[in-house]
Chain A
């Protein structure tokens, strides 16, 4: 397989408690840049594209507490779309952002709360991204469904994975 990431930038993904999924990742950049990359539409649209073949035509951000954001991804070939939006609950630039998350077509019960924490050390930035679901059931639905966001998103990839696993 391609995509040999350097070990230092390896992505960690964990389940915490009953209701959380936690991801950590280190970026070789000061956190002000990472913060910008997460909060400026022009920048977000350049990297949060979903899997190959998807783009992010809509990225609106009203970066203030109580302000809303909205993202829409589109499949380049079949035109199918997936939207998500929510509200900024906390903004402490450049270290912490808390948002709610709700997909247009809900695929887990209730609303999730996403928290991004950025810690800078020697010019590098550690990101911790946490998703807190309303209930254990919701988190487990997420864990047990082919996630539409990553998978509407990565149905293709999951299918590939399963196909290769079955050979």
Chain B
């Protein structure tokens, strides 16, 4: 099927995405984005127990998204930039996502323009008898 490299990448991504799939863990990462923090500091904003937070941290650590700092007392967690940076081709995927939506919208707008010109003049003023009144246009379904 796929060469080994792909499978490894995909497994790795699964771990990253699984770790990111939880809102608490994403919030923890967001917090760590502004600097390292101890487990206690990380737990503070959440309405869950410290052991529960530790569990989340374990998952994040397992995915390589965070690591432990030097300080033996606080054992601060810190963000590991690399896996996130990988997964964070986000902007690009966002752009691609909307790009695809908008290309479909382009096509739809062409159709709408064409159907307008067919039934009358286009943008020559405020036409009152617009063909969209036909109700097949579905605006009814939202009323």
Contacts and interface: CB of A to CB of B under 8 A. Distances in A.
Interface of A: 3, 5, 9, 11, 13, 21, 23, 25, 27-30, 33-34, 36-37, 40-43, 46-51, 59-63, 105-109, 123, 137-138, 140-141, 143-147, 150-151, 153-155, 157-159, 161-163, 165-167
Contact of B109 (A37, A40, A109): A37
A27 B109 contact: yes
Interface SS, B side: helix
A159 B88 CA distance: 11
Nearest to A167: B5
Given A25-B98, A36-B132, A42-B139, 18 more contacts: A3-B100, A9-B106, A11-B95, A13-B94, A13-B98, A23-B98, A27-B109, A28-B110, A29-B110, A33-B113, A37-B112, A47-B104, A47-B105, A141-B30, A154-B97, A162-B13, A162-B89, A165-B89
Contact of B142 (A49, A62, A140): A62
A88 B80 CA distance: 39
Contact of B97 (A30, A109, A138, A153): A153
Nearest to A63: B142
A41 B137 CA distance: 9
Given A33-B112, A40-B142, A140-B30, A158 B102 contact: no
Interface stretch (B21-29, B36-44, B48-56, B67-75): B21-29
Interface of B: 5-6, 9-10, 13, 17, 20, 23, 26-27, 29-31, 33-34, 84, 86-110, 112-113, 116, 122-123, 132, 137-139, 141-143
Contact of A145 (B13, B20, B143): B20
Nearest 4 interchain pairs by C-beta: A42-B138, A150-B97, A29-B109, A47-B104
A128 to B, nearest CB: 13
A156 B98 CA distance: 15
B100 A51 contact: yes
A123 B123 contact: yes
